[in-house]
Each structure stands twice: as structure tokens, then as C-alpha cells.
Structure 1
Amino acid sequence: MVETVIGCKWSLTVLQLVVLGVNRPGEMERSIEGLSAKVLNDCLRRLVEFNVLDKQSYPEMPPRVEYTLTEFGNKFRKVIDALDDLESDFEGAKAGPRGDKHSAQASTSQNGSLGADDA
């Protein structure tokens, strides 16, 4: 399931739009350059199929459809957010000093984690 949802180029972008309150397909299509109506509809259908989004249709003319996160969708979003945080931590670790054991111990001592003097 995760592979299918994440494998779609637009799924995470669409999910982010819904989180930001953009919940109608027309708004989504206008918000994302290069996203066609067909691809958007396929993406939305898949997110509904996997219970990430809920589709609400209103009996109006013209018809109105809105998408909201389900309870599962909120949990799924938290996992994606945690992966984003992990990626940021990884990028920060890559940018930091390499192989300098003493500076790593000093920084962890200052952060309140166990350092050489705390053990």
C-alpha cells in the first residue's frame, strides 16, 4: 500500500494540499503546475481506495466534490512527516564534522545527552 501511494509522483503533493485546506480537485489542479485532471483523479481515487482520503460528494449543480483526511490518513501523514524529519536529520549529519570524536562528544554534552563526563 505505502509503495503504491508513495510510488505515485503526485500523491504526497496532493496529500499536502489537503492538509493545507485545498480540498477540491479544481483547486488542486490549479495549485500544481504540470498536473493533469486525469492524473489527479487517478491519484485521488487511489488515496480514497487506500482510506487515506475521504471523498464527499454534494448534490449540487454543478456537482461539488471535496476530499478530507481520514483518521488513517492523519496517521499516514504523521509517518510521512517523521520520514521528512529523519531525512533532515540525515542531511544535517552529513553536513556536520566527520570523524571528530571529541567535537561530537562536546556537542552531545551541551545538548543534555550523555557525553564523556556524564557516563
Structure 2
Amino acid sequence: MYERKIPVNLNCGLDLIAEVLYGKWKIRLLWFIHAGHLRPSELQRKIPDASRRVLNIQLKELENHELIEKTIYPVLPLKVEYSLTEFGKTLIPVIAAMGQWGDDHEERLRNIILKNGDSE
């Protein structure tokens, strides 16, 4: 099990949101769940670069932070779906604004990232 080496810093809103959203795929997971991709296999197809294990860990963290909820249907084979909580839905306008900012500055950001070799 993972043990945190650095204590959690929760002194301001930015620290709090960082604790909840930091993770390579968390913002995308929230956005795709919002868009209706509810099953783990659908999320895996939307984010093929992520391993199933990492997606499961980040989904569990989002669930622990009460941003998403997991529904398990008692059928065989087991059916699992994720949905945003009311609390999680409050993040969608923030994510949309960040996405719009990225779209508005796409060319500049792409050039900066490629110039600095940060694309890996």
C-alpha cells in the first residue's frame, strides 16, 4: 500500500483542489463520466494510454473524495458504472473553462511543450 512521504498541505483552496484532482487522468475521467462514458471498459477505451490499474486507482480516489459514485449491478458478469455526484458536478464548469483555455491557446502551448521537450 502507498504511504505518503510528505505530509498533506491543506492551507488554501489551491492545495485542496490539488489534493483532489492531481493525477494524470483524473480530470479526463471526470469529464468522460460527465459525457456519459460510465463503464470502466468505456473509460479505458477513451484513455488508451492509461493502464487499467492506474485508472482503477484514480477512480477509487475520485470516489473517496466524493466526486463520483460507483454502482455495482448484481448481474453476471458483474456490471459496474460510475456517475458524478452532485458535488462532482460542481467541477464540470471549472474543467470546461480549463479545456477552453487550452483550446484558445492550443498552438502556443503545443509549441512551448514541444520546444521544452515536455511531450513525453
TM-score, structure 1 as length reference = 0.67
Query: CA separation in 2, counterparts of 1:88 and 1:35?
Result: 23
Query: CA separation in 2, counterparts of 1:87 and 1:61?
Result: 42
Tell me what 1:10 maps to. Answer: 25
SS of residue in 1 equivalent to 2:66 = coil
Structure 1 counterpart of 2:75, from 21, 44, 60? 60
TM-score, structure 2 as length reference = 0.66
Paired letter, 2:84: L
**Between Structure 1 and Structure 2, whose CA radius of gyration is higher?**
1
Unaligned runs of 5+ in 2: 1-15, 109-120
Q: Which has the higher contact order (CA 8 A, sep 6+)?
A: 2
By how many angstroms is 1:30 displaced?
1.7
* Superposition RMSD in Å: 2.1
SS of residue in 2 equivalent to 1:23 = coil
**1:71 maps to 2:99:** no
**1:24 maps to 2:39:** yes
By how many angstroms is 1:2 displaced?
1.5
By how many angstroms is 1:88 displaced?
6.3
Percent sequence identity over matched residues? 35
Query: CA separation in 2, counterparts of 1:33 and 1:85?
Result: 23
Number of aligned residues: 92
SS of residue in 2 equivalent to 1:33 = coil
Tell me what 1:111 maps to. Answer: none
